[in-house]
Structure 1
Amino acid sequence: MLRRIIYLFLVLIIFGGLAGAIAYYAFDFKPKMIAGFIMSAPKPVETISAEEARQDQWEPEVSAIGSLTAVNGIEVAPQVGGIVREILFDSGDLVKKGQKLFQLDTDTEEADLKNFRVQFGNAETELDRQQKLLDKGFASKSTFDTARLLRDRMQAEIERTEALIAQKSIYAPWDGRLGLRDVAVGKYVAPGQNMIWLQTVDPIYVDFTVTENDFGRIKVGQKVKAKFSAYANDTFDGEVFTTDARVSEASRMITVRGKLQNPAGRLVPGMYSDVKVIVGEPAPVVTIPQSAVTYSLYGDSVFAVVKAKDADPNAKEPDLEAERRFVKLGLVRDGRVNVVEGIKPGDQVVIAGQNKIDQGSKVRIDNSIALNLTVDRNAQ
C-alpha cells in the first residue's frame, strides 16, 4: 500500500514538472523568443517623397485683407423731375466723360421757351420805341426804365428755361462704368431720384487695415500686390496711395489706401482681396514646401531624410532614415514656408508619406508619390 502511494506521488511530481515546463515555454520563453526575433528583424523600408530645402530671395511684405472702393462713384440722379424719353446706354457699359445717358421730356419747357422768346421780341421792340421817344423828349425816363426792365426779365426767363431744358439732358461727369439702371422709358423720375450707378473703374482703390507696428513700415509709393478669389491665378499691381490720419480706437488698426490698375475693368467696388505691401528689398531665406510641415500644439516639425546611423555598407541603394526636427517658421508664400531655424539649404525634407514614418524609420525616396497626390487633388 505504501509502495503504491510512493509511485503515485512520483507520477504526480513528473506530470507537474512537465506541465510547469510546458507553461514556462508557452507563456514566458516563447513570447520572449518571438519578441527577440521581432526586435532583431530589420525595420521595413517606407516609401516617401522628399524635396531639398532651397534658398530663395523673398521681399519682406505686410499682408492684409482689403476691400475695393471706387475712386469716383455716384448715383446718377436728375436735378429736376420729368418723364424719361430716352435711355442712351446699356447696363454695365463703359462710358466717357460728357457722354449723354438720359433725356427727359422737355415739351413743356420748349413751349415756355417759345413764349418767352416772343415776349422778349416784343419787349425789345417796345424798348427801342421808348428809347427814340426819350431821345426826342416825348417819353419819361421812368417809362423807358419800365420797358428795359420788361426786356431784361424776358431775357432772364429765356435763360432760366434754357437751363431747365439743359438739366433734362443727363451726361456722364467722368469716364467710368455704369451699373444696372433703375428706370425705364416713360417713367416719371423725381428730382434726386437714383437712375443708375456710375463709378470709375481704372484705377480703383483698395482699402485695408494694418497694425501700428506694420504701419511704421508702410510708405506712400510702395508696391502693392492684390489677389482675388474671382481671379485666383492673377495678381493685380498697384501702389500705396495714402493712409488714414488716425488709428481706430475700437480696433487699434489704421487704414491704408492703395491704388490698383484695372484697365480691363475686371475689378469692381466691394470685392475682397488678399493684399501684400512690399516693404523692403529682397533678402535670402530658406524655404520648403508647406506640405512638409507637421503643425502641432507642442511645436512645428518636419522629417529630414538623413543617412542611416546603422547603414549597411553592402546595400545597393543608399540606406536612409527619417529624422524629426522641430523648426521655427516664418512667412508662407505661394505654397512654400520660410524656415528660420532647424533646416539648412540642401537638406532633404519629407513632403509626402509622413503618416507612415517616425523618428528613425528607414525610408526610400520615390517622388512619384507627390506627383500622384497632386494629380488626385486636381481630379477632385
Structure 2
Amino acid sequence: MFGRNLTEKKLIDSANHVMSELSVRLAHRIRDFQKLPYICGTNPYMGKVYQMYWNSFDDFRNFKKIETLEDNVNWCNLMTRNIKEHSQTIPLLGMGVSECVDIVDPELIDSFMNRMLMTRISRRTLVEQHVLLSETFYNSLENLKNISESAQNPVDLRNLLSDSLKSPKHMNRHQSAGKRAQIVGKVDTQCNVANLILDIGMKLSSIFEDAYDLVPLTSPTIIINCPENVQLMCVTDHIEYILFELLKNSIKATIQSSIKVSGLKNSSDLNNLDFSPIHVTVFQSKTHVTIRISDRGGGIDDKIYKQLWNYCSSYKAQFLTNFHRIKEMQAKTNEYTGVSPLVSLGFGLPMARVFANYWGGEINLVSLPGYGVDTYVKLPRLGNVAENLTIED
C-alpha cells in the first residue's frame, strides 16, 4: 500500500500527482457551474461557491512544480488553507439549491449536486492523505536533520504544516506501535466494524438524550450483532459519517414514533416510554461487509420515500432553509457537537450514499410504512477498489 515505506521521491511524486488531479477535478466542476441555467448563476450562494472554486483552481494551476521537501511544505499549507476556506461549500450549496427548487428541473440539480459532492470527497481525500503522509515523513528526525543541513535558512518543517487537517484519531503519538502501524495517512487498514458502530451508538445516545432531556442511558438501545473480527480497510471518517447518518435517522424516527403512538404532550414524560431497540447486523464475505440497520420507527410514507435521495424536491425544500443556521460543514460527525439532531437539512441520506458510492459501495433502504425501516450498507472490505468517479463527465 502506498505510504507504508515513504521516500523523498515518493512523497514529491505524490505531491505533483495531487496537484495535477486537483486542478483537473476543479476544472470539471467549474464547467458544471457554467452549464447551469443562467438563473442559477445569478444566485448569490451559487455564485460564491463558483468564485471559491475558480480561485482555488487559479492557485493550484499557478503553483510551481514541486521539486524539494520544502516545496512540499508550502504545497501542503496551500491545500490545507484551501480546505478550510471550502468548509462553507455545503451550506452555501444548500442555500443556493433551496432558492432554485421552484425554478430549475430537480433532476438537473440532483445530477449537479452528486457530481459536486463526489468530487469534493475525492479532493479532500487526496489532500488529507497527502498532508498526513507528509506529516509522518517529516516527523522522522533523520529527515528533518537532512533538510535543515541543506536549507539556507534551517527551519523545523513539522511546525510549518497546518493543524487544520491533523486528526488525533490518526496522529496520536501515544497509540500503541501496532495501532500506529495499521494507520497509513487517513487509511485504517484494520478498522474494527463492531467497535466503530459501538462508538457511534454511544455518541448518538448522548446527543439524543441531551436533545430530548432524557435520563442517561434511556434513549433507544442499539443491539449490535457483529463478529468481533470483522474489519475494513477504509477512511474511517467516511464510514463513520455514513453509519452516523443512518443510525441518527433510526433513533430519531423511533423516538418520534413512540411519542406519536403514546400521545404524549409533555416532553418530561418521555422517560417513561419504552423505546423499541434498533438492531444492527453485520455480515462479512470475502470481499465485502454488509451492515443492516433495522428500526421500528414507523416506516416512511410512500410520497416521501420517492424523494429521499433527492437534493431538490418539494419535500426537501422545507429542510434546506436550515442551512442558513450553519456557517461551515465538512461532513464529519464531530460537527454535530452543539447541533440538535432535530434540525434536518435534507442532505444527510444522499450525502451518505455519495460517500458509499465513492468507495464502490451502496446503500439501499426498504420501508414498511407503519412499522419500520431496514437500511443496507454494502462496502468493499479489502481496500483494493479504486475511487469511484463514474458520475464524472
Whose helix proportion is higher, 1 or 2? 2
Common fold by TM > 0.5: no
More strand by share: 1
Based on CA coordinates, which of the two structures has the bigger radius of gyration? 1
* TM score, norm. by length of structure 2: 0.18
State the TM-score, normalized to the length of structure 1: 0.18
